[in-house]
Every structure is written in structure tokens, then in C-alpha cells.
Amino acid sequence: MDVGFVGLGAMGQGMARSLLRAGHRVSVWNRSPAKAEALAGEGAQAVRSPAEAARGGLAITMVADDAALEAVTSGEDGVRAGLPRGGLHLSMSTVSPATTARLAKAHAAAGQALLAAPVFGRPDAAAAAKLFVLAAGPADALERARPLLEAMGQRVFPLGDDPAHASLVKLTGNFLITTVIEALAEACALVEKGGIPPARLVEILTQSLFAAPVYQGYGKTLVEERFSPAGFALPLGAKDNRLLLQAAEAAGVPMPLASLVRDRMIAALARGWADLDWSSFGRLSREDAGLAKGPPARAGT
Ligand code: NAP
């Protein structure tokens, strides 16, 4: 298939490469052109605007946040201007349900469709085409996009015809991950103070009651304090927490755990950890317990 790919960050690069490996013809655009030029050397075609990437009728966006998605979608250089009538915008960034709903409406008014398809999985999963995709939008749009989604992911979870539902489920999943990070960090600090290596606790938990990827992955990250380079940067994690709390407030759903995580993330950002992985806020539990020595390791140090 001919597809345009907009946003070649930590996730987008691996996803675009998966499409190339699966034999699709991929036009790429990135705000900083060097990343698009790198992929051009691997068979993609670098283009000059999101609109140009969308000319073939199908465009994928994978950018940082709501403002970035708005910037690459709207305006004369945006995806919406480039897509022909009948075109499809596959919106894979993690953004608010409200933004997804608004953009879906604008595409519909232009005779186009938006399929929201945010993902679970970090850059390594993106590079290995092992993402889990949450897909919501018109049924025919999902069928049209399916070969692309299957080239990038290991499983597609359909969520019905309202695109905002995919964004809401994605934010809810990330909320649960943050509660796991906080709970694991507190538990590890307690056993460490009690004289038991936290690595042993994580080993026991993940081989018994908690044998799940999130406990395994973040347990290892916390114990080894592997926060750099960031797979998912703390400011993006804070963005997801903020969007979740906004959606929760709008729906009249108190989420006290999300509020607690919000404060943890603010504290981590205040310590200058913006270039670290989002799980670095878990280190605050060690600090609070008087266990952490010095700042966490950074790339290149
Ligand atoms: P990233 O490495 O920070 O990349 C962000 C991308 O957005 C870059 O291509 C960046 O362009 C672009 N961008 C930012 N602001 C822009 C703007 N105003 N206009 C145009 N482009 C803009 O982020 P990522 O980790 O790939 O995440 C991308 C999306 O996937 C986010 O919504 C994130 O929440 C979600 N996600 C991430 C992970 C993960 O583990 N990393 C997992 C699941 C979902 P430049 O290169 O020019 O900066």
C-alpha cells in the first residue's frame, strides 16, 4: 500500500521501518528533517510536508501530544489538506479523547475518515513490530488500515466506531502502568530497608502472582535504575496523566491514585529529570526512605 508517515520519534521510526519491511511504499515527514532523511536511505521517500505525505490517500501520524497532532493535521500543509476525499487518517499518538473526537469531526466534514489507533508497547516493541493496537473508528476504515496495523503490531483490539474510545482506553492503560511503577517502587524501598535485595523481591513477584510484562519490565528498570536513555520520556508520561485526569474530571470520576501519580511526576520533573524515562518518578520512593544516593544516571555519564 502507499502510505504517508508523519512523526519519526522514538516510536515512529520503528513503526515506519516495520511498514517498509512489510513491503509498503512509505512517504515520511518529520518536523526535524534529519530523521526523515535517515529513513530515506532505507527505502522511504522523504517529503516536504504532512500534506504531501497524505496525498496518496492514507496517512499515519505518530507525534508527541495534542498540540503536535493539531499542528500536523490542520492548516494548508496539514494531513487534512493533503488527503483526498475518501482519504484516511490513521491517528496513532496518545492524545485526549476530546482532540480525537474534534479531529474526527473535521475529517468527516472534509469527506475523510479518522481511525484512532494508539498503541501499547515501547520503542523496542515498535522496532520489532510487536505493538498492541487499540483501534476505533468507522468499520470500513479499520478494514482498510488492517494490513498496516498488522505490519506494525502483534494484535489489534477493535473498540467500535467512536475514535475517542481508543484514546480513552489508551490513557487508562497508561494510568494503570503508573500505579504499578509507584507500588513497585514503594515495595522495593521497604524490602531494601529491611535488608532484602529489591531484585529478589521482583524476581519472586514476577515468577509467581505478578508474572506480567509490566511488572517484569518496570521491576527490572526500577531495580537497576535504568532510566536513561528514556524509552518513554517523563514529560510525555506527565502529559498522559494530565489528559487522564482531564477526562476523569469531565466524566465526574474521581481518580485519587492518578492524582497521587501527578504529584510524583511533578516532583520528578522539579528535580530536573525531564530527559529520563517516565518510570524515574519511582526513584522518589527510595529518596523518601533515605536510600537514594546522588542523582540517577543520565545518558553519557
Ligand atoms: P518522541 O520520541 O518524543 O517523538 C515525538 C515526535 O513528535 C517527533 O517526531 C517530534 O518531531 C514530533 N513533534 C513534537 N512536537 C511537534 C510539533 N509541534 N509539530 C510536529 N511534530 C512534532 O515521542 P515518542 O516516544 O515517539 O511518542 C510518540 C507518541 O507515542 C506520543 O503520543 C506518546 O505518548 C506515544 N507513545 C509512546 C510510547 C513510548 O514508549 N515511547 C509508547 C506508546 C505510545 P521532532 O523529531 O522534530 O522533535
Alpha carbon nearest to ligand 1 atom 25, residue: 10
Domain count, the chain: 2
Alpha carbon nearest to ligand 1 atom 19, residue: 68
This prediction has a pTM of: 0.96
Q: pLDDT by residue (tens digit) across 224-271?
A: 999 999 999 999 999 999 999 999 999 999 999 999 999 999 999 999
- Total count of residues recorded for the chain: 301
Angle, to 10 degrees, between the axis of helix 234-251 and the axis of helix 256-270?
Answer: 150
18 CA to middle of ligand 1, Å? 17
Please choose, from the candidates 298, 141, 154, the residue with its C-alpha nearest in 3D space to the C-alpha of residue 228: 298
Mean pLDDT, range 81-106, rounded to an integer: 98
Verify whether residue 220 is a known catalytic residue.
Answer: no
Q: pLDDT by residue (tens digit) across 167-183?
A: 999 999 999 999 999 99
CATH number, residue 52: 3.40.50.720
Task: Please tell me whether residues 210 and 260 are part of one structural domain.
Answer: yes
Domain that holds residue 175: 168-288
E-strand spans in 72-223? 88-91, 113-116, 119-120, 131-135, 153-158
Residue ranges around ligand 1 (CB below 6 Å): 7-12, 30-32, 35, 62-65, 67-68, 71-72, 93-94, 119, 122-123, 231-232, 236
300 pLDDT higher than 50: no
Q: pLDDT by residue (tens digit) across 118-162?
A: 999 999 999 999 999 999 999 999 999 999 999 999 999 999 999
Task: Please tell me whether residues 142 and 220 are part of one structural domain.
Answer: no
Q: pLDDT by residue (tens digit) across 194-234?
A: 999 999 999 999 999 999 999 999 999 999 999 999 999 99
Task: Please tell me whether residues 150 and 43 are part of one structural domain.
Answer: yes
Burial class (CB in 10 A: 0-12, 13-18, 19+), 230: buried
Residue to probe by mutation, ligand 1, list 62, 77, 234, most atoms within 8 Å of CB: 62
> How many whole angstroms separate alpha carbon 109 and alpha carbon 190?
56
Task: Please tell me whether residues 38 and 156 are part of one structural domain.
Answer: yes
**DSSP letter at 106?**
H
Task: Please tell me whether residues 37 and 154 are part of one structural domain.
Answer: yes
Q: Which of 161, 185, 210 is the last residue of a domain?
A: 161
